[in-house]
Amino acid sequence: MSRSVNVVILCEDRQHEAFARRFLALAGRGTRVQRVEISPKGRGSGEQFVCARFARELAFYRSRQHRVEQALVVVVDGDAKDALARETQLAEIVMKAGQEPRKASERVAIFVPARNIETWLAYLDGQDVDETTPYPRLPRERECRRHVDALHKMCRHGALRQPAPPSLAVACEEWKRLGTPSRVGS
């Protein structure tokens, strides 16, 4: 990102937050996390929280985008859905709220780890993964630093280690919406 950008992160849990914060710190100069909207622990599904808040956060982003450099980062697990199906679900929620769909010119990036973020972490740890197997959580969320560092390096060099999870390849494309210097898929 070329200038200072205020970022709002909308996510399911602290692991999503730690992952997004670390990647933003590595990939974007001048980014500042303004606010994090995270599913309250023990109050239902994190996916439902993100879906319920998405239209409101998108409207907030749009109301301020011409006054302040900002971005919206959404992280929601695919669970049994792939990245495209989850993005379609979010687009339908936005349309039901009477808003226009997300535009290519908007700094709104949606990251959908399929099955969940632990799939990406296992891949970034060097494992061959599939997007249906559950992988173990990290003992502490902040331990994802080395995983995010590996992802940033792969994105910077323009290639993910193969075979890569399809949802992670989509995520590398999503970072481009924020103006980050990722070249994967270019």
**Cα–Cα distance for residue pair 9/157, rounded to 1 Å:** 26
Write out pLDDT tens, residues 35-91: 999 998 877 789 999 999 999 999 999 998 777 788 999 999 998 888 888 999 999
Write out pLDDT tens, residues 126-153: 999 999 999 999 999 999 999 999 998 8
Closest CA to 20 of 38, 40, 2: 38
Write out pLDDT tens, residues 87-131: 999 999 999 999 999 998 899 999 999 899 999 999 999 999 999
Helix (H, G, I), strand (E, B) or coil at 1: coil
In sequence order, what are the beta bridge partners of 36? 9
3-state secondary structure 36-86: EEECCCCCCCHHHHHHHHHHHHHHHHHHHCCCCCEEEEEECCCCCCCHHHH
The amino acid sitting at 129 is: V
In the chain, alpha helices (H): 14-27, 46-64, 83-96, 117-124, 145-157, 166-175
- The values of phi and psi at residue 72, to 5°, are -120, 125
Give Rg (Cα) of the chain.
Answer: 15
Location of structure tokens 């622990």: 41
| pTM for the model | 0.89
Report pLDDT for 175. Answer: 83
Location of structure tokens 């502490």: 140
